[in-house]
Amino acid sequence: DLNRLSGDIQLIVDGKRLDGRGFDELRPINIKVGVLKRADGSCYLEMGKNKVVAAVYGPREVHPRHLADPVKAVVRYRYSMAPFSVEERKRPGPDRRSIEISKVSREAIEAVVMKELFPRSGIDVFVEVLQADAGTRTACLNAASVALVDAGVPMRGLISSVAVAKVDDILVLDPMKEEDNYGQADIPFAFFIRNDKIESIALLQMDGRVSRDEFKQALEMAKKGAMEIYQMQKEAIKAKYMIESEEVNSDE
Ligand code: UDP
């Protein structure tokens, strides 16, 4: 958050975070797959007070045509915040922040999508923030990656994303708004995970300052958090698949 306020606010009280979480504890996550009828794939995801929805279209013909790539699919990613998603009304439409988030998120997603299978086509990912409480880019990436699976887009793995913050000289996982605003550093991570194994870092950003040791610790904390998110993403996908296969069976 570029509007970081230098902090008189105490964020750790009696060894606890303001919302009662442990330092390495995620906010509650809730994932629903296939919530939109008109998208090829979709996902609604809550990460604490964040509420986001992702819609995927494609692979399909690219418009305008000249943007098509003869050897692979073109991936587009649009991050957008609803005017009512934040405390002070967000002016609708793209701004510098959302353009930057869209770019780095697209690059993360491109690490897992098997683009080479779909020359000349386009895969469009739209993510909408309905309610924001810090970490919206991470929540959106988690939703986008599930929506891509729901769309049947062939993927090398999943993207699982979470931030680590430094508050009152302590590293905390998945910071909420107060920790993001008044903390000393904020480091969003996204990992490419395949077969329960972290293959690579697909996104890494940072504002504020941490020491080399703190950064190493932050990375370990983020990896652990991302693995928990990965399991929940897999569960959500499985849950939808099982309901559908039961429906098919009961039709027989
Ligand atoms: N935020 C806001 N208005 C804005 C942009 C951000 O109130 O125009 C809030 C919102 O809660 C967001 C948080 O600031 O989640 C942190 O924003 P940041 O730019 O760090 O991105 P995020 O952490 O959401 O990925």
Which phi and psi angles does 161 have, rounded to 5°? Answer: -135, 140
Q: Which residues contact 93 (CB under 8 A, 6 or more apart)?
A: none
What is the pLDDT, as a whole number, of residue 22?
A: 97
Q: How far is the CA of 56 from the centre of ligand 1 (A)?
A: 23
Q: How far is the CA of 231 from the centre of ligand 1 (A)?
A: 26
The structural domains of the chain, ordered by start, are: 15-245 (3.30.230.70)
Ligand 1 atom closest to Cα of 136? Answer: 24
- Token code pair at residue 146: 């599930």
Q: How far is the CA of 147 from the centre of ligand 1 (A)?
A: 22
What is the pLDDT, as a whole number, of residue 189?
A: 98
Quickly tell me which residue has 């941490």 as its tokens: 210
What is the end-to-end Cα distance of the chain in Å, rounded?
A: 53
Measure the CA–CA gap between 118 and 205, rounded to whole angstroms. Answer: 30
The set of protein residues with a Cβ atom below 6 angstroms from ligand 1 is 1, 86-87, 90, 97, 132-137, 177, 180, 186
What is the pLDDT, as a whole number, of residue 45?
A: 99
Q: How far is the CA of 3 from the centre of ligand 1 (A)?
A: 9
Ligand 1 atom closest to Cα of 175? Answer: 23
Q: How far is the CA of 195 from the centre of ligand 1 (A)?
A: 32
Measure the CA–CA gap between 31 and 188, rounded to whole angstroms. Answer: 20
Q: What averages of pLDDT result for each successive group of 10 residues across the chain (252 residues)?
A: 63 93 98 98 98 98 94 98 97 96 98 97 98 98 98 98 97 97 96 98 97 98 98 96 75 58
Determine the angle formed by the axes of helices 212-251 and 136-150, rounding to 10 degrees: 30
This model of the complex carries an ipTM of 0.99
Atom 13 (ligand 1) nearest CA:
134
Residue 191's closest CA among 169, 149, 219? 219
Measure the CA–CA gap between 12 and 227, rounded to whole angstroms. Answer: 25
What is the pLDDT, as a whole number, of residue 156?
A: 97
